[in-house]
Amino acid sequence: QVCDSRRGWGGVPARPGAFARSGCRAMSAGQGTAWEEPEGAGPLASPFPRLGDRGRGEGAEAAVAPGGAVFLRVRQRLGPGGHGEPAGPETGASPGGGCTEIPLVVSATTVGSWLPGAVLRRSPWLARCLDAPPGRSISRLLAGRSPGGCCGGVEEEEEEEEEDELVRPGGELEETEAEERVAAPNTAARAAAAVCCRLAAPDALELGLPGRGAGRLLLSPRGLLECLELCTEGARAPPPRGALGAAPAGRLLALLLWAAVLELPGLAGACREAMDAGALDTGSLALALACAHAAGDAELLRLCYWRLRELLLGAGGAPRQWLDGRGPVHLAGGALALRGAGVATPLAVLRGVLEADVEAKRRRWLVPTDGYVLCQVHRQRAPAGGYPHRYELRLDHSDELLLSAMREDEQGACRLFEGDAAGPGTSEHCAAFLGLVRPNFWGTSFDLHDGGVDLEAAAQLVPAAAGLPLPQRRRLCRVGYETNILGDCPRKVTVDFERDGVRHHMENVAPRWDKKLNSYALPFFGRVKKASAKNFQLVVDGDPNTIFLMFGKISKDVFCLDFRGPLTHLDAVAIAIAALAKKRAVS
């Protein structure tokens, strides 16, 4: 149900009380303007009735609250920073029956309506506001942290502690005096980006929307009603299937920010699912970043980071309209700004996303497991055996796909990805990228690098991306093959890597000549089915009783790969890819 211009929510008459009429008189003095419903727009055009519709004048009859209803009054500031700006011509009735356009400078609009208390209590935050003592204000801050705070700066953190959580994104504060908000200039600026709620009377709730930041652009009375409508099953339950549909990014961001304010995690999760990386184009990405920073939404920040990284460092480079300053989005000074809206988000706020991603991938792929991991490597080749080649690492017992890799040509690097992400068009700057295996020209040395970036090359190619947090590329492992052009002896393989400050060196077990088979042979304990020059085992100090990695051929394009610590998944895949690569100086 949606409130229209004549009736309240669910058919309850919309009758503002005395405090609403006093607000209407204040607006007539030039401090604000009532919500104007477009002609013929229908009930969706105005979610709240104009305050002047009922109770006009000093002698008007006092409004009577419907049973169980609460009068919600919403004040919305206009213009960047909350300062008055020309709001366009205001149309009023002229004595001659025509219309006269009177230009006004409007600083805020105020609207209100009676709503059922049960509907407002769908939001835990509004429920706490209704249960608070009359006169107490509760604020939800949407200012976000400063770049220093996001990076864990000590000074910024201490200042936040002194301000009693006043500057924490998405946090709450309670106060009994409004003057406490302006204790310092930075406190006042952040308070202007807060959603403030005050219980003016037992059946009257006042809500102030932000005058600056992403909240000023995205939060509106209509979005508040829409959020409450979508949460009929409770705060943690997702909205009904298909309720969001193919909603544009702007609407999803508005619902997401309202869900953060109203503490509706079910709706917030549904908005994130509906808004994948593809929905964030060059026009909506700046608004999404501002929204995520304001709400402290880690998942949306992560989505924005990888979309930004792919746009700035991908093959196409940074969008030209971001750099020349002619479009609505401007990238300069290490910040992504919305021109004319007073919203600029430093790219440094994404450092926490990068650190969390690096740590998560390290724990998943660079920490050795106890015992042996039994896997298979599946190779997929282009028709006639040409390139590209695609590799998949699967668990032997369940066929679960762990990693995938793509080699575009014979001498190119082989890129590693999580899951099934590897493909010809998959970028190295996507969230699933794990690293790459780079060979030398002769095929005698293969280096495994992590998913970092060559910072010097990136700074030269894309200077505008200087403010974007990026990890430095590191070498994790080196696989070496002894030169053997004639092929008169078995291959010799060495593996060198460092883990937790300890250097490890492994070599393959030298195979023995088997007279019956008339070839070199090794015991593979039934794991390898076919003889091949690629079959080998890695040990330490020539001890054949402790095998750390075993690689061998099962069929034409399926290979056995068993390994144990200190080797990790990435190490093992890199060693297997090196074994399958073309080698000019190794027969």
Residues whose CB falls within 8 Å of the CB of residue 351, separated by 6 or more in sequence, listed in order: 147, 150, 151, 469
Q: What is the DSSP annotation of 254-319? A: HHHHHHHHHT-HHHHHHHHHHS-GGG--TTTHHHHHHHHHHHT-HHHHHHHHHHHHHHHHSTT-S-
Report all structural domains of the chain as residue ranges with CATH numbers, in order of start.
69-75+108-143+189-279 (3.30.710), 284-365 (no CATH), 367-580 (3.20.90.10)
Supply the pLDDT for residue 238. 83
Encode pLDDT of 319-328 as tens digits.
888 888 788 8
Encode pLDDT of 303-317 as tens digits.
999 999 998 988 877
Supply the pLDDT for residue 323. 85
More confidently predicted of 5 and 451: 451
Encode pLDDT of 244-266 as tens digits.
877 888 899 999 999 999 999 99
Q: CA neighbours within 13 Å on the CB side: how many for 455?
A: 9
Q: How many angstroms separate the CA atoms of 212 and 190, rounded?
A: 9
Please classify residue 109 by burial: count the beta carbons closer than 10 Å to its beta carbon, then call 0-12 exposed, 13-18 middle and 19+ buried: buried
Supply the pLDDT for residue 450. 95
The reported pTM is 0.77
Name the token pair of 329: 């989005």
Given pLDDT bands bounded at 50, 70 and 90, which one contains residue 79?
Answer: low
Supply the pLDDT for residue 480. 95
More confidently predicted of 353 and 386: 353
Supply the pLDDT for residue 369. 87
Encode pLDDT of 416-448 as tens digits.
999 999 988 898 999 999 999 999 999 999 999
Q: How many angstroms separate the CA atoms of 345 and 271, rounded?
A: 21
Per-residue pLDDT at 144 exceeds 90? no
Per-residue pLDDT at 573 exceeds 90? yes
Name the token pair of 541: 């100090």
Encode pLDDT of 498-542 as tens digits.
988 899 999 998 888 877 777 777 888 888 888 888 889 999 988
Supply the pLDDT for residue 388. 92
Encode pLDDT of 4-16 as tens digits.
333 333 333 333 3
Q: What are phi and psi of 403, to 5 degrees?
A: -135, 160
